[in-house]
Amino acid sequence: MSSLPPYPPGIPAALPGQLLTADVLRYLRTGVEAGTVVPDAGDTEVMSVRVLRDE
């Protein structure tokens, strides 16, 4: 995973290895709905995410 910096402001909301909580995903989704862009996300609409299960 690369970092997930919504632009603007360009400050990462999530970093590689970070747990993606409901709060982080909500922040990214509401940002996209308001017009921000998450250019480094595989799904730039942040409608889906790929996860790695930690055993």
Return the CATH class of domain 1-55. alpha beta
Q: Where are the domains of the chain?
A: 1-55
Question: What pLDDT does 13 receive?
Answer: 92
Residue 8 vs residues 37, 54, 55: alpha-carbon distances, Å: 7, 31, 35
Residue 50 vs residues 20, 34, 41, 47: alpha-carbon distances, Å: 10, 23, 10, 11
Q: How far apart are CA 44 and CA 39, in angstroms?
A: 6
Global pTM exceeds 0.85: no
CB neighbourhood size of 25 (10 A)? 15
Q: What is the mean pLDDT of residues 14-29?
A: 91
Question: What pLDDT does 1 receive?
Answer: 59
Q: How far apart are CA 28 and CA 40, in angstroms?
A: 12
